[in-house]
A = this chain, B = another copy of it.
């Protein structure tokens, strides 16, 4: 079963830059009417940029909704029709100024499936080299700064709650378990 009931009415309340807001009214099996709110998001890619020396590259940026600068893995939305691996390569280059010689898919996950359809595809980026010209950031990313540190140190920041972004926690923990078993 992949639906909860028959769709009675769909209202697209907002069409935005990052998210759309859709509100569905459905007929539940009980006969009552239910409301389901969906933040629609195009999905995106998250990259764990791993250097040969075992260090990882993080970006620090202001996140307007939470009013804080957060330390995160490079990531970004998919452009229409863009493959997740292409989005990963593009975002890595734009945000960090590094190009990946090799990119490996780890897995995909939903960030918050209770009210949003955003799916993120997670990649490990290896054989990193500097792109001539450096990062090409968007206007909202101008204050972004880069932090390179050993993977174990980044994982320690999770436990200290100095890394508090879900996709970043997942990427770092999986990269570490891969590094240990690989």
Contacts and interface: CB of A to CB of B under 8 A. Distances in A.
Q: Say whether chain A's binding surface is mostly helix, strand, loop, or mixed.
A: mixed
Interface string A154-182: 00001101001111011001100100000
Contacts of A112: 111-112, 116, 118, 166-167
A133 interface: no
Residues of A in contact with B, size category: 35 or more
Interface of A: 1-4, 13-14, 16-19, 21, 23-24, 28, 30, 32, 34-41, 62-70, 107-120, 139-140, 143, 158-159, 161, 164-167, 169-170, 173-174, 177
Copies of this polypeptide in the complex: 2
Given A110-B165, A164-B108, A164-B109, A115 B4 contact: no
A13 B16 CA distance: 11
Nearest to A111: B112
15 contacts: A2-B69, A13-B13, A13-B14, A18-B37, A19-B37, A24-B64, A30-B139, A34-B140, A39-B65, A39-B116, A65-B116, A107-B164, A109-B164, A109-B165, A109-B169
